[in-house]
Chain A
Amino acid sequence: MKTYDAIVIGAGHNGLTNAAFLAKAGLSVLVVEKNDYIGGAAVSRTLHDDWVYSNCSYVCSLLRPELHRALDLARHGLQITPYYGGATFMENGDYLGSYPDPDLAHREYARHSRHDADAKLRYRAETMRQCRLIRDFLLRTPPDPTSLKPRNLKSLAELAAPFLALDDTALYDTWRFWSMSIGDYLDEFFETDVIKGALAGSGIIGTALGPYSPGSAYVLLHHYMGDVDGSIGAWGFARGGMGAVSDALASALKSYGGDIRTEADVDSILVRNGKACGVALTDGTELRAKVVVSNLDVKRTFLKCMDHRDLPDAFIQRVKHFRTRGSSGKLNIALDGLPTFPALPVGSPLIDGDLHFVDSMARLERAYDDWKNKTWSKDPYLDLIIPTLTDPTMAPPGKHYMSVFVQYCPPELDTGPWTDDAREAFGRTVIEQIARYSPDFESLIKHVEIRTPRELEAEIGLTGGNIFQGELTLDQLLFNRPVPGYAQYRSPVKNLYMCGSATHPGGGVMAAPGANAAREILSDLRRPNTVPENFGDD
């Protein structure tokens, strides 16, 4: 029987990235995927006629450009087209536009508040400063602050260096920024509800925090730190849907000689003498490898695919308590034509961007209260986008695909697990929210796919339906992610590694966890490193 150098469990974008870098280093690599399609949560699915849905993740910004280049993804077919702008619709019939052009942006803010238009400049400068700081850590393995090993001391010093190089003001502001809420942060700059409401959205997406929960300012950063073609904070579409990212990664992997086997559901990770040595599939097949890498979330990896006797009790406890409660839902809608939003001026380009319908932080916070009470938000925060305005390949000519991300949606209801009826009612809430601002929207609907955390867990295996494989709160970031002491992609079992979003630097289609894990594995195997370090911003 063939013994692979490495088996990667799960063909999500991190698993594929990890496998590609290992294969590039000359390892024989096999990726096993339970579904009959690859991509995990970065997929393009055809679920209704000729419409293509990015039915989980839907926009692209965080994918590290260093990895994009190192794996030559453009040659493997990946095209990312930026989109700009968007609008937040207000209950009073007005809207707040977001324009890429600085003059237009200033004029639009000034239409709501002259003070806030000026404050936006300070806000942007301050937030970008925090962004640049964090970006340096994305392609690095977090140090273990409790370790006195030279390697950890060195990386701890590297971690601290940019902070200590900050001027005094920035140093204190960074300390505050990392621990404060997006609500308090925005209150320091702005006075207008709709402006704060519009900006706060990025502080709560995918996270079971409200805008006034401490720590949500960091989540904002997580959504700002991406870039498209060097434009920090910009977002774009992968042509053909998010599956194009996975397809390009898979193509890169194959070009290095790696293999992918779909419909290969891992039942357990095989451990002999305290070392991982392969996987057993649910059909009984056993596959051998010198190294096993899991792209699954940590609960699935360690609690479902392993014998607890192979792991330390304290580790199991920590994994059990790793927070993976889902908080998001998604609607994918096939439309017969382009819906109109009468609040926007005729011909406004804002419709090409992301649209939102919550115009204050109080409404966002109340939406979060619903989640805490184990029900979906009755006045939800939506991140609505119509990709076909930028990428017409995703629907038949003249038709459109609408992607609606919904915050908040609980993993379980107060009445118990999700039911199909409850899912339909959740979908109704979202559709009605949109219809309040677009009278012709409902009549254009041809098909709707409604996804709650239940579907995310069932289809792509994310425990709790958490889109980041675990909450992005400070207690689960950096050297705490996923488990203190095991934040360097290694597990307590020798030759078993983690490479999913549950590891540093977390979720979003960033591929940094997969790449960082590959670097650590290659180092353990004493193979030459194929994974790029940061390019820096310049």
Chain B
Amino acid sequence: MTERLDVIVIGAGHNGLVCAERLARAGRKVVVLERREQVGGMTETIEFAPGYRASACAQFLYDLPMSTVDELGLVSHGLTMDPRPLDTVALAPDTEPRVFSSNRTSTLPGMDASAWPAFRKHMLDLAGFIEHIKQRPPPKLHQRDRADLLGLAGMGLALRRLGTDDMREFLRLITSNVYDLLCEHFEDPVVRGAIGFDAVLGTHLGPRSPGSVLTLLHRWSRGGGPVQPIGGLGAVSSALAASARAAGVHVRTESGVRNINVHAGRAIGVTLNDGSTLEAQDIVSNVDPRRTLLDLVGARHIDIGLARRFHRIRAKGTAARMLLALDGLPEAPSGNDRLLRQRLVVAGDLDELERAYNPVKYGEFSPKPALEISVPTLSDPALAPAGHHVVSITAQYAPLRPEGGWTTSRRDAFADAIRNTLDAALPGVARHIVAEDLLVPDDLESRYGITGGHWHHGELALDQFLFTRPVAFGAQYRQALAGLTLCSAGAHPGGHVSGHAGRHAAAAILRRGTES
């Protein structure tokens, strides 16, 4: 039996939910189809050991605009968070922690104490241009119409508004590497390493790779301060789903899509795993672009050149997640309990970070990985049994599929590497571990269905940015196939839990109306 709808959204990740909510608010009849039993995709909170819960993948919000929180009424739909960003605390064995703050006094050694606020301000000024880009759909370079020319002119103006010096600096830095940038501004190796880690987190780049300043500006375009909601990032998805339902969206879980059905060159509906079909005016995919076009649609339905472009999308995840259940707290850095509540970073200096990156190029994991750590139970005790705690770690670098695969022994070896690095920076943590869970990029790919297990659904780099994200001739959300709209992080403007791609995709559908 076939049900007639305005819009089908495939995948209940944050972008899919934002897109669905926006469309339903505009009066469309929308259904969201989610393969798994809970919404959120990678933006979810899981029980990784009996009684212990944590954010499964992303553990911080960097980029969720308050305007989105307000417009979608996320607070009234149950989202609780302290909007004040956490500090970042860089830990290194046998040395004082370095504290980077956006709203308090930072504790950094020597000249770096004064260099940090100046550097941060300068970067945020430059990142303002990136934020301008993020807030808008990318203009087309081909078949430029009036809107595209206006978009390009707007970009030109925004760039000019930086002023001559900053514009010059932006045009230089945008292709530059963060290693040299940080060596220009900071003296302390641990300070350099911690900021460098912000640039390469979630990418297939080392700090010396050209393009790593772009990824830093992308992360920092809204200030770069991390925020953690109560209940983990799953709470964001729950609130988004509640907001969407309140707008009239039908969110169906355990409804995996097998195919996007194409008729006469137009996406007309979907076939679910159970064989049932649904039809709609618009099909929106929150699945990564490559999987959407090559697996769900099928290459035979699109132009061969375009299919090749989707095939070439670079998406090899490098970030692994490790969740630890603890029966007690590790020692706080320099005995300061407040520091333990912040975002902790163990990245060493820039050379160590670069050395952590080297193995992943050859399909090997870092023997000394760089870590982003939080202890969410300190502000949110409900995540673990009373008196117990959760440590949530993002570890880099892990290859997608090492030669021979992620065997049990290789997983154990990588888990040991993470634990050893962690224990050196937070002494005593290892003896409190009562349970642990490791998710490597291969797991992320199979669990969430994301090509390459890549957090951003595709590497964030200039060749996959703006006009060419996800691919040339496909960057405007609706270009790849009539009736099909892409709304995932694989589309412009890329990753972080921001909902931008979902908003832009919804706007693209509403602006053009449905093509009949």
Q: Is B225 interfacial (CB 8 A cutoff)?
A: no
Which residues of B, 163-192, contact A by the 8 Å Cβ criterion? 164-165, 167-169, 171-177, 180, 184
Q: Which of B127-174 contact A (CB under 8 A)?
A: 141-143, 160, 164-165, 167-169, 171-174
* Interchain CB contact under 8 A, A321 and B468: no
Q: How distant is the Cα of A362 from the Cα of B468 in the complex, in angstroms? A: 27
How far apart are A141's CB and chain B's nearest CB, in angstroms? 16
A323 interfacial contact with B, CB 8 Å: yes
Judging by beta carbons under 8 Å apart, are B468 and A175 in contact?
yes
Interface assignment of B462: CB less than 8 Å from any CB of chain A: yes
- Of A26-34, A208-216, A392-400, the segment with at least 4 beta carbons within 8 Å of chain B is A208-216
Q: B interface, by DSSP: helix, strand, loop or mixed?
A: helix
Residues on the B chain within 8 Å of A372, using CB? 208, 351, 354, 358
> Are B175 and A365 within 8 A (Cβ)?
no
Chain B: which residue is nearest A374 at the CB level?
B351
Q: For residue A146, which residues in chain B have a CB less than 8 angstroms away from its CB?
A: 160, 164, 167-168, 171
B171 touches A171 (CB 8 A): no
Q: Is the CB of A473 within 8 A of B176?
A: yes
A212–B171 contact, CB under 8 A? no
B6 on interface, CB distance cutoff 8 Å: no
- Cα distance, A484 to B362, chains bound together (Å): 36
Expressed in whole angstroms, the Cα–Cα distance for A213 and B354 within the complex equals 12
Q: Are B468 and A176 in contact (CB-based, < 8 A)?
A: yes
A210 to B204, CA, bound (A): 14
Query: Does chain A have a CB within 8 A of B467?
Result: yes
In the complex the two chains form, is A321's CB within 8 Å of B180's CB?
yes
- Which B418-474 residues have a C-beta within 8 angstroms of A? 461-463, 467-468, 472-473
A3 CA to B168 CA in the complex, in Å? 37
- Which residues of chain A from 111 to 158 have any CB-CB distance to chain B below 8 Å in the complex? 145-147
Contacts of A214 in B (CB 8 A): 175, 205, 209-211, 461-463
Minimum CB–CB distance for A503 against chain B, Å: 15
Contact of A480 among B143, B171, B354, B358 (CB under 8 A): B171
Given A475-B176, A480-B171, A172 contacting B472 (CB threshold 8 A): yes
Q: Is A179 an interface residue (CB 8 A)?
A: yes
| Residue total for B at the interface (Cβ-Cβ under 8 A) | 39
Within 8 Å of chain B (Cβ to Cβ): is A485? Answer: yes
Q: Which of A383-407 contact B (CB under 8 A)?
A: none
The number of A-B residue pairs with CB atoms under 8 Å apart is 102
Measured CB to CB, the closest approach of chain B to A162, in angstroms, equals: 14
How far, in whole Å, are A244 and B106 apart by their CA atoms in the complex? 60
Distance to closest chain B CB from A82 (angstroms): 33
Q: How far is the CB of A40 from chain B (nearest CB, A)?
A: 26
Residues of B within 8 A of A188 (CB): 312
B314 adjacent to chain A (CB < 8 Å): yes
User: How far in angstroms is the closest Cβ of chain A from B174?
Assistant: 8
The residues of A that contact B312 with a CB separation of less than 8 Å are: 188
A172 B141 Cβ-Cβ under 8 A: yes
Question: Does A173 belong to the interface (CB within 8 Å)?
Answer: yes
How far is the CB of B122 from the nearest CB of chain A, in Å? 13
Closest to B167 in A: A146
Interface residues of A in 75-123 (CB under 8 A from B): none
Chain A residues within an 8 Å CB radius of B84: none
Grouping DSSP codes into helix (H, G, I), strand (E, B) and loop, the A interface class, with mixed when no group exceeds half, is helix
Closest A residue to B212 by beta carbon equals A214
- Is B463 within 8 A of A179, CB to CB? yes
**For the complex, is B361 an interface residue (Cβ under 8 Å from A)?**
yes
| Contact status of A215 and B211, CB under 8 A, knowing A171-B142, A323-B180, A474-B175 | yes
Q: How far is the CA of A184 from the CA of B361 in the complex (A)?
A: 12
Residue B305 at the A interface, CB < 8 A?
A: yes
Q: Which residues from A are CB-within-8-Å of B160?
A: 146
Does A435 reach chain B (CB closer than 8 Å)? no
B515 CB to closest chain A CB (Å) equals: 21
**Pairwise interchain contact A176-B472, C-beta atoms closer than 8 A:** yes
Per-residue CB contact flags for chain A residues 166-183 toward chain B (1 = under 8 Å, else 0) read 001101110111111000
Q: Mark B337-365, 1 if CB is under 8 A from A, else 0.
A: 00000000000000100110010011000
Cα–Cα distance between A485 and B142 once the two chains are bound (Å):
31
In the complex, how many angstroms separate the beta carbon of A130 from the nearest chain B beta carbon?
13
Q: Which 7 A-B pairs have the closest CB atoms?
A: A172-B472, A168-B142, A179-B462, A474-B175, A484-B168, A475-B176, A176-B463
Q: A145-B167, A175-B462 are in contact. List 12 more A-B contacts (CB 8 A).
A: A146-B160, A146-B168, A168-B143, A169-B473, A172-B473, A180-B463, A184-B314, A213-B208, A373-B355, A475-B175, A475-B177, A484-B168
Residues of B bordering A, CB below 8 Å: 141-143, 160, 164-165, 167-169, 171-177, 180, 184, 205, 208-211, 305, 312, 314, 351, 354-355, 358, 361-362, 461-463, 467-468, 472-473
A-B contact pairs, 14 of them (CB 8 A): A146-B168, A168-B143, A171-B141, A214-B205, A214-B461, A317-B184, A323-B180, A365-B362, A372-B354, A373-B351, A473-B176, A473-B177, A475-B177, A475-B210
